[in-house]
Structure 1
Amino acid sequence: MLGASLGCGAALAAAQVEYPSKPIRFLVGVVPGGAADMLARAVGQRLAERLNTQVVVDNRPGANQTIAAQLTAQATPDGHTILIVPSAHAISPSIYRLNYDSVRDFSAIGMVAMVPNVLVVHPSIPARSVKDFITFARTKPGELNMGSSGTGSPSHLAGELFQMFTQTRLTHVPFKGQGAAMVDLVAGRLQAGFPSIPASLPHVKAGRMFALGVTPRHRSSAMPDVPTLEEAGVAGYEVNGWYGVLGPARIPKKIVARLNGEIVRMLEDPAMREMLTRAGADPLSSSPEDFSRIIAADIGKWAKVVKAAGVKVQ
């Protein structure tokens, strides 16, 4: 009993230490230069200003961003180690054998942005609408190549779900990252794909590919003239790509609330919102509780898609 009391006292004392008391380590599961890295650096810079401390972005790429997630799960839960996490975090439990639980081993801090995927096609494809593409794809089952940023990635599973909803059959071609897939789509070696808007936006603007439909149930501020896939006739289809911030489980609630509040306030800043929108993301904050529920719901959703599509990492 005495031991339990001492343990509780130590936890309470830790929670009452002034926060932050040292630099914050901000883990990113990709190499420098990508969308997640850009987002982490933008958020980190503003957190540093608001918390009056140094925020160090630590890139730990590999294994579909699970290396960075594992480091976060194992970190001391004092708010000085946090992670920028993509919606792939909710896919990984169905693809990999993880050394952590994607919900229980983390403290959800809050969402930062929605990063929609979009159905794009090469200009040689005789389709300028989702309906036209579905009709064309049905006449060529298995003949159209659909690129993705890797097996089990959001861009891959968005395409698998599309095929289930539309009774089409595309040949999946995985790449190591969205950039490589975009190169082959522009070159015409791929006919279609479901990349994120940040990855595809420059090519769409330049006419090197056509955007037919975005995957969420709301239009993207970066592509306001492009309908959602549901609007375009794929009833019930919805894929939400997102980024949020996590920390290790058992961070004191006061620290979680402090971090969440700072993220919410920074996303109200017009300059931050403009920067995210210009990059192809839609700023979106949330409570820690709502973010945790979104992760849990997406884990269940993608587990069903992975099983139905027979997805296996090569």
Structure 2
Amino acid sequence: MLKKLMLALPVVAMMSGTAFAADAYPERSIRFIIGFGAGGNADTVARLLAEPMSKDLGQPVVVESKPGAGGNVASDFVSKSDPDGYTIQLMVGGHAVSAALYNSQPFDPLADFTFLSTIGQFPFFVAAQAGAYENIEDLIAKAKAAPGTIKIGHSGVGSTQNLTGELLDLETGADFIHVPYKGGAAAATALLGGEVDVVIDTGTIMTPQQDAGKFDILAVSSKERWPDKPDVPTLAETVAPGFDVVSWTGVGMPAGVDSAIADKVRASVHAAIADPDVAARIEKLGAKPSPMSGEEMRTMVEQQIETWKKVVESAGIEKR
């Protein structure tokens, strides 16, 4: 009996130490790493969360930008940071895209991270000049009838918008010409000027032109109709059964973070998203507040990596 008790003591001590560490956490400021420059959507979302999380956790959550390589510089930094809970990362959908686009990365996009929760999810919309097509079925029928004639504009080779268009080719048998631009605004301008026939991009890019009567939004990439545009059909219900593409923002930490600390930060993220003012501002950016568990987020990222790998190979996009 005494021997069993002595053997159990180290386990009890370890559990007690873990509980104490989580109770004491955080004891100093937390770095919130973003992979893009100040003023962009990633910076905006990080700062939206940083203030309520600072109040909730009782220590400053400080947004710090480490731009470069489409977010990979930040991901590399976080993956190699001390897993003590004092470095968190604003992750984006490009995390999964990069894993498909790069031949090698200095980190494992799954194993080197602790996934906490998504913040918001947003779909992409397929838009054309007003009156150009009756509906999404008409667009796809014409693209299949005249392969290689209809041009889709997007925000750059390897962007999620580009891969969404390539996936549409793959799922429908259409054969679009994919034309890259330097960002969604430039692609929308090209559509206005007749340089391209269709654009795939976010609601924040498309909606102003739709409201002005210049664009028709034909379909949305998410598996369900988007709350802000309930009259816009999904690609899944019309021309591509099972089609489901959303991009996202989320929060991660280095692999190896104590689970109790990860749970504490996740709860703080969820509390911030639940704040009506924060949720409204996320929605204003074109996203739907979407808290989830760490395991759900990891599964989503893993599935997206596999999807984008398939698309990159099928489309013959050169890896970097």
Q: Is the 8 A contact 2:18 2:260 kept in 1?
A: no
* 1:165 and 2:150 correspond: no
State the Cα distance separating 1:278 from its structure 2 match.
2.5
CA 1:179 to 1:71, structure 2 compared with 1: closer, same or farther past 3 Å?
A: farther
Q: What CA deviation, in whole Å up to 9, does each residue of 1:26-52 have, x standing for no partner?
A: 122222333222212211222122222
Q: What residue is the counterpart of 1:153 in the other structure?
A: 159
Q: What residue is the counterpart of 2:33 in the other structure?
A: 27
* 1:232 and 2:238 correspond: yes
Identity %: 31
State the Cα distance separating 1:14 from its structure 2 match.
9.1
Q: What CA deviation, in whole Å up to 9, does each residue of 1:220-274 have, x standing for no partner?
A: 1222221111122322211121211111111111111011111222222222222
Indicate the SS of the match to 2:111: coil
Equivalent residue runs for 1:53-64 within 5 Å: 53-64=59-70
Q: What residue is the counterpart of 1:75 in the other structure?
A: 81
CA RMSD of aligned residues (A): 2.4
Residue identity opposite 1:169 in structure 2: D
Q: Is the 8 A contact 1:25 1:80 kept in 2?
A: yes
* Length-normalised TM-score, structure 1: 0.89
Aligned mates of 2:291, 2:43 — CA distance in 1: 18
Residue identity opposite 2:310 in structure 1: K
Q: What residue is the counterpart of 2:7 in the other structure?
A: none
Q: What residue is the counterpart of 1:186 in the other structure?
A: 192
Indicate the SS of the match to 2:84: coil
State the Cα distance separating 1:116 from its structure 2 match.
0.8
Indicate the SS of the match to 2:237: coil
CA 1:127 to 1:288, structure 2 compared with 1: closer, same or farther past 3 Å?
A: same
CA 1:200 to 1:50, structure 2 compared with 1: closer, same or farther past 3 Å?
A: farther
2:226 corresponds to which of 210, 220, 229: 220
Q: What CA deviation, in whole Å up to 9, does each residue of 1:34-88 have, x standing for no partner?
A: 3222212211222122222222222222212111111111111122211111122
CA 1:25 to 1:138, structure 2 compared with 1: closer, same or farther past 3 Å?
A: same
State the Cα distance separating 1:90 from its structure 2 match.
1.1
User: Which range is displaced more, 25-34 or 109-118?
Assistant: 25-34
State the Cα distance separating 1:291 from its structure 2 match.
0.9
Residue identity opposite 1:264 in structure 2: H
Q: 4+ runs of 1 displaced by more than 4 Å?
A: 11-14
Aligned mates of 2:26, 2:181 — CA distance in 1: 40
1:111 corresponds to which of 113, 118, 133: 118
2:137 corresponds to which of 97, 111, 131: 131
State the Cα distance separating 1:201 from its structure 2 match.
2.8
Residue identity opposite 1:214 in structure 2: V
Q: Is the 8 A contact 2:152 2:176 kept in 1?
A: yes
CA 1:174 to 1:246, structure 2 compared with 1: closer, same or farther past 3 Å?
A: same
Residue identity opposite 2:71 in structure 1: Q
CA 1:152 to 1:135, structure 2 compared with 1: closer, same or farther past 3 Å?
A: same
1:292 corresponds to which of 275, 280, 298: 298
* 1:99 and 2:106 correspond: yes
Residue identity opposite 2:147 in structure 1: P
Residue identity opposite 2:276 in structure 1: P
Residue identity opposite 2:204 in structure 1: P
Q: Is the 8 A contact 2:191 2:197 kept in 1?
A: yes
CA 1:18 to 1:237, structure 2 compared with 1: closer, same or farther past 3 Å?
A: same
Q: Is the 8 A contact 1:122 1:190 kept in 2?
A: no
Aligned mates of 1:14, 1:156 — CA distance in 2: 48
- Mark the structure with the bigger radius of gyration: 2
State the Cα distance separating 1:313 from its structure 2 match.
4.7
Aligned mates of 2:251, 2:272 — CA distance in 1: 13
Indicate the SS of the match to 2:89: strand
CA 1:23 to 1:176, structure 2 compared with 1: closer, same or farther past 3 Å?
A: farther
Aligned mates of 1:205, 1:45 — CA distance in 2: 33
Q: Is the 8 A contact 1:222 1:281 kept in 2?
A: no
CA 1:141 to 1:105, structure 2 compared with 1: closer, same or farther past 3 Å?
A: same
For structure 1, the 5+ residue unaligned runs are none
* Length-normalised TM-score, structure 2: 0.88
Residue identity opposite 1:102 in structure 2: P
Equivalent residue runs for 1:32-43 within 5 Å: 32-43=38-49
State the Cα distance separating 1:13 from its structure 2 match.
9.5
